[in-house]
Every structure is written in C-alpha cells, then in structure tokens.
Chains A and B, each alone.
Chain A
C-alpha cells in the first residue's frame, strides 16, 4: 500500500490535518492506535451515558464576521460551516484567590478590564500598556524564551495580579513550569481573555463525528487500532511505516502528531530525548443530580482558583497539589440544549512519578485515587457550596490514566516543554504537528495540523 500522505495520530490536530489535505487530495491515510478517535478530547461510556474527556471549554471564540480570528480561519480551511457546530458561549468565569481577590471575565473583554480597574487601580494603566504590547506582538515568530513573569511584573507592578492573570493561561495551555514563554502567553491571552470560551451544543463525540464525516466524504481513509512500530527511513528520507501487526505502508510524506520524543523513538533516533520535567494532571468528574442548585456557583462556567501563598504552576512533590486548580461546570454555557445531568469537573497539577510509584500496589493506587476525589471535592465545595450529597457518579483520571488512553508521555496533556514551532524535526519528508508543535487547545491543535500541512506538504505535492 502506498499513500501520498500518512498521518500518525487521530487526535484533533491529526483529524484537522487529514481533512485539510483530503479536500484537495483524497488519498490520505490517518492512523489511530486507540479504537476511538479524539486523543485527549474523546469520550467514554459509563452508566448508559457518554462522558467527555479533556474538553472543559473551547477557547478562541469569535463572532462570525471576524475573518482573521483563529476559529473562523480554521472553519474556512476545513470548509465547515459555523452552523454545523452550534456554538454556545460561556456565561462568565472567574479567577479566584480566596481571601485575597477575585476577577470575573467573560467573552466581553470589558468585564475583565473593569474588574482590574476597580480591584487593582494602581495597575490599570500598566494593564493597558500591556494590552498594546499583546496587540502588536507576533507570537509565531521563532524567538528564544522570553519570561512572561518579568514582562507582567514590569507593567503591572503587582505580584498578585500577575499570578491571577497567569493562572488560567497556564492551566489552559502551558507545558512549562513556573513561567510562560511570552509568545505562548500572547496566544493564550488572546484565546481566553480577548476572544473567549465556548462549547459546541452537542458532545465532543458529535464534533469528532462531524470532522470524520467531512474527511471520509472527501475520500479520506482511517485505520483505528493501528499502532506504528517503526517509521521506515534511510537517513533523512522517510519511506513509510511498519505497524505492530506486520503491515507495511509506504508513503511520500508523514505528519506525526504523537509528540516529538515519541516520533524520534519510532525513528530510532535518540537525539530527541529530553530532560525537562513534564506537567501531569489529575481530573475528577462529579456527576450531580440534575436538580442540584450550587449555592455559590452563580452559574459560572469555569473557576480558576489558588489558595496557596503564591500561585505555583509546577510539578508538585506529592501526588497532587490541591492548592490550585480548575473547576468547570460544563452545563453553564449560554442556551445549551436541556441536558439530563449536571457535572462539576476539577483539575489539579499532579506528579506522574508519584502515581507510578503508587501503582506498584494496586490498593494504594486506588485509595490515592479516592483520596484525590474526596480532597478535590472539599476544595470545590469551599468554592461552590456543598454538593457531596447530590453526587450520582464520580470518576478520577490520574496521569497514568491519561497516558494509557492518549499515549501522551507521563500523562502530560500539554506535551514536551520544548516546542518545535515550524514542525521541522530534521527529516526530508516528515513533519510534526499537534501538542509538541506548540499550538494548544482544541482550536490551536486543529490549526497546528492545518498549518503544518499548508506550510510543508500541500505546496510540494
């Protein structure tokens, strides 16, 4: 078998890349090792219902007429109409550092601006100067690491405000500890604060099915449960792949979305081995009775919180750090169709190695999972009011769960701290897209797939 383009990984970046390519050249094959597509943003069934994984909210909301907004560019590139998605904007979200300060924000940027004006008056002018920097900055230009903390501190002169602005942006898109590269900060600031958050009316499954339908309608092919054993190559020239079941597939180009180190491993190339720690996470889903009215939730969509003295976005020493996290209420988007359930989802930073250690004894792993759920519940109840008595189902994902189902090394959802922005890892006809290319989030990862295909592959075929 021979195809012009072979894509490894059926997550959102791989799917978008495949669809983009198939629009013009249908002869493309997408390989996914799991039985289900979606990667980090997928789903599973329990108690006769579908649970989403990954998706809290989609960043990069844009009104239809804003042509150059990432969301609209992506839809044009994939030839998908907005109305196929049924977009629902967030109600309102919050950055809450209890006993210190709270900032509300929504898809109307003036809310965050007025919150900063009233709660951090001394920093408000500096915040506007920062906005000008953000507006003019080209985050896609390859540059060495620039410390965001330093730039924020210079403009805002306020550690608390710096930490509060960084909290949602780091949690929703930073693969590195303690600080953010300024380019990544600009991307995330635009995606979350200037553009905003939304979700589709259906489930993530509907979105995946829609992408897959467009793809196969163009003639694209997909093979699930297909694990690549090695990438066949002579020097820098790729010939194809060998699958675990012994099948050999030849191709002109490969687009790999499985991560840089993971790709180097398939190439038998040890040069991609890294030393920086990867950030792991735990997530717990609490399904609560539909009639539950959260006493202090105020219909918020997402609450990013921190209870520590300082906000520390870093790998914790213990298995989970409950001092900070994300609390998501996925029912709190505008005009969502009536659903038969409600959820509270919590996310915290976790230490992969500690969980790995726990797994040596199945019982202690399981009880650590229970402890995680219960401690996370207490944290969430402090913010939302009590809802423990309304829980009908709960499930906890550790970094090991995430690694098992998504093949993300160490369960690090944002991948390798070192990003390869141009997708070029030193081969003639193999490129990298997705998490380790560096555009994060659902819209970002899809644009990653599309732009690497546009930049390196389509013009040459």
Chain B
C-alpha cells in the first residue's frame, strides 16, 4: 500500500467513526485526537478497524505511534507493504 493509500485508509476509518469529522484544516503532523475531537474510546476504533480490515495486530504499547496522520503512515507503511 502506498503512503497516500494508507493516509486515505486512516481518513476513511475516521470518517466512519464520525461522519462530521472535518478534514479540511487537518494538519498531518499534529495529533489527530485534538484536531478531530476524538476521545480514547474513538481512538480504539482506528486500531480495531485496522485489525478487522487488514488483520493487523497493533500492540497496546504501539498506540502512541498512531497519534498523528504522519506517524500513522510511517508506522503502518512497512506493516501494509504487501496489502
């Protein structure tokens, strides 16, 4: 999966969690949670959707790697290389 495709995947998952999420002003290097008003419960949905869609097992200690859109892409790129 390309970096752009991974980015789209994350945004698609977030849109699925909150259909009113506003991506226009989203800064890729800033925490997703603050910008999109997501709480920790919503955040878990991202992890679980990645597991459901791509059989990715993300250990709890790696959750901070998913903090920003950029860090998501960096973290997921090797894991989704063959996807």
B1-37 Cβ-contact flags toward A at 8 Å (1 or 0): 0000000000000000110100000000000000001
Q: Please, how many angstroms separate the alpha-carbon atoms of A24 and B51 in the complex?
A: 8
Tell whether A459 is near chain B: CB-to-CB under 8 Å. yes
Q: Which of A335-343, A412-420, A450-458 contacts B (4 or more CB under 8 A)?
A: A450-458
Tell whether B82 is near chain A: CB-to-CB under 8 Å. no
* Interface set, chain A 115-162, CB cutoff 8 A to B: none
Residues on B with C-beta less than 8 A from A451 are 41
Distance between B65 CB and nearest chain A CB, rounded to angstroms: 14
Residues on B with C-beta less than 8 A from A76 are 17-18, 41-42
Whether the pair A73, B44 counts as a contact (CB closer than 8 A) is: no
Q: Please, how many angstroms separate the alpha-carbon atoms of A77 and B44 in the complex?
A: 10
Assign chain A's interface to a size class.
Answer: 10 to 19
Whether the pair A454, B37 counts as a contact (CB closer than 8 A) is: no
Q: Please, how many angstroms separate the alpha-carbon atoms of A346 and B52 in the complex?
A: 47
Interface of chain B, main secondary structure: helix
Nearest A residue to B17 via CB reads A76
Whether the pair A68, B39 counts as a contact (CB closer than 8 A) is: yes
Residues on A with C-beta less than 8 A from B18 are 67, 76
Distance between A22 CB and nearest chain B CB, rounded to angstroms: 11
Q: When A73-B39, A450-B41 are in contact, do A459 and B52 touch as well, CB less than 8 Å?
A: no
Q: Please, how many angstroms separate the alpha-carbon atoms of A77 and B42 in the complex?
A: 7
Whether the pair B39, A24 counts as a contact (CB closer than 8 A) is: no
* Interface set, chain A 59-117, CB cutoff 8 A to B: 65, 67-68, 73, 76-77
- Residue pairs across A and B with Cβ atoms less than 8 A apart, 23 shown, are A23-B48, A24-B49, A24-B52, A67-B18, A67-B37, A68-B39, A73-B41, A73-B42, A76-B17, A76-B18, A76-B41, A76-B42, A77-B41, A77-B42, A450-B41, A454-B40, A454-B44, A458-B44, A458-B48, A459-B44, A459-B47, A459-B60, A459-B63
The residues of A with any CB-CB pair to B shorter than 8 Å are 23-24, 65, 67-68, 73, 76-77, 450-451, 454, 458-460
